[in-house]
Each structure stands twice: as C-alpha cells, then as structure tokens.
Amino acid sequence: MILKNRNIKILCCLIFLFGVNNLFAQTETELKLWYDKPAEIWNEALPLGNGRLGAMVFGDPAVERLQLNEETIWAGSPNSIAHDKALKALPKVRQLIFDGKYKEAQDLATSDIRSQTNNGMPYQTFGSVYLSFPGHQNYTNYYRDLDIENATAKVQYIVDGVTFTREILTAFSDQVIVVKLTASQPGQITGNVFMNSPFDKTLTTTEGNQVSLSGETSTVEGQRGRVKFQGRMAARNIGGDVSVKNGIISINKADEVTLYISIATNFKNYKELTEDEVAKSKAYLDKALIKDFEAIKSTHVTYYQKFFNRVSFDLGITEAAKETTDARIRKFDSQFDPQLASLYFQFGRYLLISCSQPGGQPANLQGIWNDMLFPPWESKYTMNINAEMNYWPAELTNLSEMHEPFIQMVKEVAETGKETAQIMYNADGWVLHHNTDIWRITGPIDNAASGMWPTGGAWVCQDLWERYLYTGDENYLKEIYPIMKGAANFFLDFMIKDPNSGYLVVVPSNSPENTHAGEDGTSTITAGTTMDNQLIFDLFTNIIRATDILSEDKNFTKKLKDALAKMPPMQIGKHGQLQEWLIDWDDPEDKHRHVSHLYGLFPSNQISPFKTPELFDAAKTSLNFRGDESTGWSMGWKVNLWARLLDGNHAYKLLQDQLHLVTADQRKGGGTYPNMLDAHQPFQIDGNFGCTAGIAEMLMQSHEGAIHLLPALPSVWKNGSIKGLVSRGGYELDITWKNNKISVLKIQAKRDGNCRLRLESQIKGNHLKKAKGNNPNPLFYDVEVKKPIISEKAEIKKVKLPEYYEYDVEMKAGESYIFYAK
C-alpha cells in the first residue's frame, strides 16, 4: 500500500480553557474501590501511602488492622558486594561460553563472580496498629472503600442501630497516618489501640499521652541490621475520655476520636544512618497533633489532587459499576465494564503518587506495601525489567515528579557501580547487575541464572533519556550526560569479540531470566543476547544524539559508532521469530514470562511497522509463541507490546487476562487480587504500573517522532475521552472519540517545537484554523502531508495497516490548538 502525497487542510481553533473543560467533561462516576465485607487477608486490604508511609486498611469492625510501612525500613546497613575474585574467573567463564560449555560456565560464575558476602537486603514491614471495639462483631450494612480521587479510605457499618464510621489517610503534607472515628450517636466510641511489630527485639513505652514502639531491622547473611525505627501514636477525643497505660490507648464513651500515627528511622542516605529516629518521630506527631482531622485532610487532598487531577479518563459506564470491586474483577472477562478499565488505569496513577514522592525512595517491587520481614524476592529493585516498569506511566500519564526518586537512585548506583566495575572487571565507568537495594549494591547476586546480567546500567540510562525526550530540558540532559557516558565506558571496556561469530558482545550475560537450548538446555548464561544488543544500541545512539544537542564530546561518539558497527544486528530465526539469542535457539513452545528480546519493540522504538516491517512481523511471531496468560507483571508488559503492534483488540484481551480475579485459594497464575493489586503471584506492583502505561499506549504513542492518535483502540471502546496524556516533545493531549474515530483533539505545547500528528485517513479533508487571542479573523494555512510513512517492503509482509497521514504544526510554549473532525 503506497500513499500519494497530497495537501490537506485541517480546521484548528485556539480556544479558552473553560471551553476545553466543557468539551471533556467526564461522566459522573466515583473513582472508588468498594466492598461489602472486611478484608480477611492482606491481598484484600486497601493501600494508602504518602510516598514515605504506607498503610494497608483491613476494615474489620471489631478489630481494625492497619499494617504499616516506612520506606527506609530495610535490613542490613551500608555495604558493597564488589570483590576481586571475579577478575580471575572472568576470562575462564568467557572461554567456557565460547566453547559451548554453558553449564560449567554458569557454575563457575555462580561460585566465583556472584557476591561472596550477601545477596542484597530485604525491605521490611514496620508492623501494625490494631483498634479493637468490644461488641462490634455483630454488625450490619457494612461498607468500605478506597477513594482514589482523594487518597482516603473509609469503613462504615451499623451496630445496635448506631452507624460507626472510620476515615483513614496517610497525610502527604503532615507525614502522619490519621484515623478519624465517629458515630451517629454521642458517647458510643469505646475501644483500645495498640501497636506491635514482628521484629525480635522491640520496645514499647508510654510517654504521657503518647505510645511509642522502637526497634532495629534484621541482620541478614551476616550484614548487621542498623536501621533504627520508632513508631509513635496519640489520640484526640471529643466527649468521653482517653487514657494511656502499658502501651495501650484506651477510649471510653467518646463522641469522636482522631488517632495520629508517626514513624521515622535513622536513615539519612544509602551511606549514612545518622538521623535521630526518636526526635523525628516525635516531631512529626507533635506537629500533627495541633491540627484537627479536617485541616490535615484538606491539605492532604489538595496536595494529592494537583497530581492526580491532571488526567481524566472516561469510557462510559454500565450497570456493572453498581457491583463491588471484587465482583467486577471476577466478571471482567464476561461482562462489558468499561469503567473498571478506566478505574484500573487511574488506580495505577494513584499507586505511583502514593509510593514515589520527590525526595524519597523509588517504588520497590511492592511499591511501599509489604507485611513481611522477608518478602518474596526481598522486595528489592529488580533491574532487568521490574523497577523500570514501575515508571513506565510516570511521564506519559503526567506524573513527572513521581519519576524523581528513580532518577536519584540511578545517580546513586552510578556512584557505587564505579567501584564494582573497577574491582570486579577492571573496567572504566560503572556497572549495575540485575538487582539493587536501599544500600545501592551493584554486583551480581542470587545465582548466575539471573544475577549474571550486567546490563542494568544501560536500561536505567534509557529511562534517563526518555525523561529528556518528554521534558526537553537541556539542563537536565547536561546533568545526566556524565551518567550515561559512564555506563557506555563500562561496555566499551567490558565487551569483547566473540570468536565464533566475530561480533562484539556482552559476555557473560543472559536473556533474563530464560534458559536456552545450548548444551543440555538448563543454562541461561551466554554471550550477545538480543536484549543486551538492543539496550547498548539505545545507550550508544542516545549519547550520540546528546552530544549533538550539547555540542560536546565529538571524539567519544567515534568510539561508540565504531563499537556499534561491530555489534550483532537483530536477527530473524528459522521459525520466523525475532531471535532471543545470538544463536537460533528459540522454541515456539517456550512460554517464559520474560519476553526480553522484545525490549526493542517496547519500551524501546527499534522495531516499527513503518521502518522495520520484517522485524515488526518477527516480533509479533515471537509474542504469539509466548502466549497471553502469564504472571501478572508479564501480562502488563504484553498489553504494551500488543499496543505497539497496533492491535488494540489483542491488547484489550491481555487486559482482560490481567483483570482476572486471583483468590486466596488460587496458587498459580497471574492476574489481579480483590484489592486491585497485581498478582505475580505473589503481589508485585509493576503489573499495575505496566497496565496503566499499556492503556495509555493503546490511546496515544509518540516514540517514532510523531504523535500517533488512537493507534490501538479496542473496538469495544467505541466512545470515550482521555485528558492530560503527555507525549514526547512536551505536548499535553486531550482526546475525544466517537464510533472509534477521533472527534475532538486538543493539544497544548509545553515548549516550542514542531508537533507532528499521525492519524488515520478518516479526518482527511478537514480545515485548519488558527486563532490568536480574540482576533475574529482567523489565519488559514495549509499543512503539507509528509512523505508516505508505510514502506514498499511492508506490502509484501504480513503487516496489514490502515492508511496513516502525518501533519506538522509549529507550536509555541503555552499555545493550544483544538482539532475537530467532521
């Protein structure tokens, strides 16, 4: 299919903001998760967070449990796992790989290159606060919710004709957890409040009207736990009385009670534990105690909504929305419930705001919500996809500030990774393997099956670069450029020529975390994996682009170009698939959860139906081989991949698979828990973030230098609107569609530039009108269609695409346009 060049006029009108708000008014729907029974297990409790503090609300009328977290409560203490034993083993491991002795190479890497001390430290729970209410076992008219529009939770029920209400929030501004207890009749609130913690040694004390619980984190693999923490609480009452004794707050016949809870640690940064946790905990609590609940709530909601309200999403609403959230998840694959999809999208944004605040720690494998001392995979930062996946929605869904903790972590591992690169590999620059923790370890951990993957530095640098593409901030680019260059310097030193293929390769490495068919088919370790090649291609080419922008380091780019010329290209294998490895080992029956070789399709942009149709088709073949249903986070990745394959119906099918209810008695398979958290299983938060990004990718993509509108719209989402998505280049978009076609599009530029739109041909023949201020005489002008964007090669492949047209519009920062389709 070849498109002919033609001149097309489009009607475009600058309008005032109040007009836009009217155009994009959302259907009145409550953004709430709600239930008609208390949580019996953790995966039914509801998450609250302010970035630093997390709370899971169970909602039992008789004994409320608030399971609590503080983002810096980690086992161990500052340490490095770099060691020089790896230097001697490295050439031997490489030679064994080149000789095809993969199992022997993997065993040697596991014993001599892997960490000789510890495998990273676990993120740990603080403990819980319990509120007990005698006589409340027999209740009726039960209701609980999580209001993601206000970041609050509520529990309500009736006992003996009295309506009891609890409202809970984790205050962003005041940095405390606050619980308001009310009753419909005076003098009805009677109960006890206490804290506990699963750590071996804790101390509970009573200080005046406050109760505190202090402790120290665990010692793991010989690494002493030196993070000291203290939780502290107090209550204010109206009516009745409150007393404090033996670590228990007792409430007697009060009309209303507000409970205040603070937590603090001695953590200052990954190198220092010098803060005073007692003074900090007390200061947080004392400052909050002078405010009533409504004052704290008001500032909390205002702070939260300045982020959350940037994006609204309306797909319409059906009768299904009247059911409880768990029932809706259970039925999502069998009943049409478009509002659940938009709620799920916004829930991901809610979680990111709640667990990743500027100045704090980035979201770990569980965000900040963890009820264990030793959670699965220690709830660390897994850098071979999961930690990066957490931030896929950050820029795209207008939450750039939430990206900052991850950017800061990259700066820190770039420092610790210098020591690891030098000591372990005698290499310049810095290295990051497949995992890190709050102490910013960068060496290989676990076993060679997953740990011997040294390409984490390239992936996180791609994240740094993506943020530049969205913001266009050259000062930021100058700040991150040395980090990117340091990562590149490592690979220039670390890569060597493969004597079998002649290519320059990363070795030892793996295609996370998959075994290949070499030797006996049980090993992961190898050389020159597709994902490594794709990651380094991005790193090197991004640096080359950065040097052009910053007008510096031209000599360095020659080294990068020389290395790129020697690296393996992406290859299509004997089954028509995109090869996962340098050798054509792929098995069409392989259903592994990782689809690492498809990094080039998403989140990268190396594979395109317009520029590389053969690779595009091969990537599709590989994804079909892998299948749909998998672990939760993997299905979240696949939503994005099918969106990039421009197949909205298949992406929606993956969304249905992901929004499959995982119950307490289910032991295998991914999906979603009743509280809407992702089930790997167990809980991993990256699945939530991946699906939020995937839904956005279905509606707008901007990775190829153009803003592609509704590229993968499912046929079932016939009508809808989304407001506030952000494209690369710094354009904010509001999109409304009817009958699966764009009806209204508003674009606002955050900076000067050329806005290139990619649309299907249904809007051809419209006119463009640009109005300046209140000028009644608009200026009309033509926009030239760019050259055809589907190559002749695409005709002979399986790739079948509709006609697309591209339009260029020059825009100034702050300028808005609105396009109407006729």
**Residue 95 — very low, low, confident or very high, per pLDDT cuts 50/70/90?**
very high
Distances (CA, A) of 123 to 257, 365, 376, 503: 32, 9, 10, 41
What is the model's pLDDT at position 810? 83
Task: Compute the chain's Rg from CA coordinates.
Answer: 27
Average pLDDT of the residues of the chain: 90
CB burial of 500-512 (b: ≥16 within 10 Å; e: otherwise) equals: eeebbbbbbbbbb
3-state secondary structure of 738: strand
Amino acid identity at 500: N
- 392-427: per-residue pLDDT in tens? 999 999 999 999 999 999 999 999 999 999 999 999
Planar angle of CA 259, 74, 401, nearest 5 degrees: 75
Sign for the CA dihedral angle at 369, 373, 377, 378 comes to: positive
Maximum Cα–Cα distance across the chain: 83
Question: Domains (ranges, CATH) in the chain?
Answer: 7-26+711-820 (2.60.40), 38-75+124-309 (2.70.98.50), 85-114+399-603 (1.50.10.10)
- 142-174: per-residue pLDDT in tens? 999 999 999 999 999 999 999 999 999 999 999
Planar angle of CA 671, 676, 677, nearest 5 degrees: 70
Tell whether the model's pLDDT for residue 780 goes beyond 90: no
Distances (CA, A) of 43 to 366, 563, 794: 12, 48, 47
What is the model's pLDDT at position 798? 52
Distance, in Å, from the CA atom of 248 to the CA atom of 192, rounded to the nearest integer, reads 7
Bridge-based pairing state of the strands 707-709 and 753-760: parallel
- 319-362: per-residue pLDDT in tens? 999 999 999 999 999 999 999 999 999 999 999 999 999 999 99
Distance, in Å, from the CA atom of 346 to the CA atom of 134, rounded to the nearest integer, reads 37
- 637-683: per-residue pLDDT in tens? 999 999 999 999 999 999 999 999 998 777 778 899 999 999 999 99
Distances (CA, A) of 24 to 13, 273, 734, 751: 16, 49, 8, 23
Bridge-based pairing state of the strands 248-254 and 241-245: antiparallel
* Residue 511 exposure: Cα atoms within 13 Å on the Cβ side: 27
Bridge-based pairing state of the strands 7-8 and 783-784: antiparallel
Residue 376 is given by DSSP the state G
Show the 3-state SS of 81-136. CCCCHHHHHHHHHHHHHHCCCHHHHHHHHHHHCCCCCCCCCCECCCEEEEEECCCC
Q: How many CB atoms lie within 10 A of CB 25?
A: 12
Poorest-confidence range of 73-82, 259-268, 749-758? Answer: 749-758
Sign for the CA dihedral angle at 360, 362, 368, 370 comes to: negative
Distance, in Å, from the CA atom of 637 to the CA atom of 82, rounded to the nearest integer, reads 32
Tell whether the model's pLDDT for residue 24 goes beyond 50: no
What is the model's pLDDT at position 10? 31
129 strand-pairing partners? 66, 195
Among 769, 76, 741, 815, which residue's Cα sits nearest to residue 438?
76
**Residue 620 — very low, low, confident or very high, per pLDDT cuts 50/70/90?**
very high
What is the model's pLDDT at position 805? 74
- 295-309: per-residue pLDDT in tens? 999 999 999 999 999
How would you class 499 by CB atoms within 10 Å of its CB: exposed for 0-12, middle for 13-18, buried for 19 or more? exposed
Distances (CA, A) of 677 to 128, 276, 582: 20, 34, 37
Distance, in Å, from the CA atom of 789 to the CA atom of 463, rounded to the nearest integer, reads 27
Tell whether the model's pLDDT for residue 6 goes beyond 60: no
Distance, in Å, from the CA atom of 752 to the CA atom of 286, rounded to the nearest integer, reads 47
Helix H or strand E segment including 680:
none
Percent of the chain with pLDDT over 90: 84
Among 9, 13, 2, which residue's Cα sits nearest to residue 764?
9
**Residue 753 — very low, low, confident or very high, per pLDDT cuts 50/70/90?**
confident
How would you class 791 by CB atoms within 10 Å of its CB: exposed for 0-12, middle for 13-18, buried for 19 or more? middle
Among 647, 609, 615, which residue's Cα sits nearest to residue 628?
647
Q: The pTM is what?
A: 0.93
Q: Crossing angle of helices 554-566/474-494, nearest 10°?
A: 50
Poorest-confidence range of 8-12, 308-312, 493-497? Answer: 8-12
Backbone angles phi, psi at 180, to 5 degrees: -110, 125
Q: How many CB atoms lie within 10 A of CB 1?
A: 12
What is the model's pLDDT at position 775? 28
DSSP annotation string for 475-501: HHHHHHHHHHHHHHHHHHHH-EE-TTT
Distance, in Å, from the CA atom of 497 to the CA atom of 544, rounded to the nearest integer, reads 23
Tell whether the model's pLDDT for residue 796 goes beyond 70: no
Tell whether the model's pLDDT for residue 563 goes beyond 90: yes
Termini Cα distance of the chain: 25
Site of tokens 């997953």: 450
Tell whether the model's pLDDT for residue 28 goes beyond 90: no
Poorest-confidence range of 10-14, 202-206, 499-503? Answer: 10-14
Which strands make up the sheet holding 720-727, listed edge to edge? 312-314, 720-727, 731-738, 741-749, 816-820
How would you class 310 by CB atoms within 10 Å of its CB: exposed for 0-12, middle for 13-18, buried for 19 or more? middle
- 184-236: per-residue pLDDT in tens? 999 999 999 999 999 999 999 999 999 999 999 999 999 999 999 999 999 99
What is the model's pLDDT at position 664? 75
Bridge-based pairing state of the strands 816-820 and 46-49: unpaired
Tell whether the model's pLDDT for residue 5 goes beyond 50: no
Residue 33 is given by DSSP the state E
What is the model's pLDDT at position 800? 61
Site of tokens 């009943």: 335
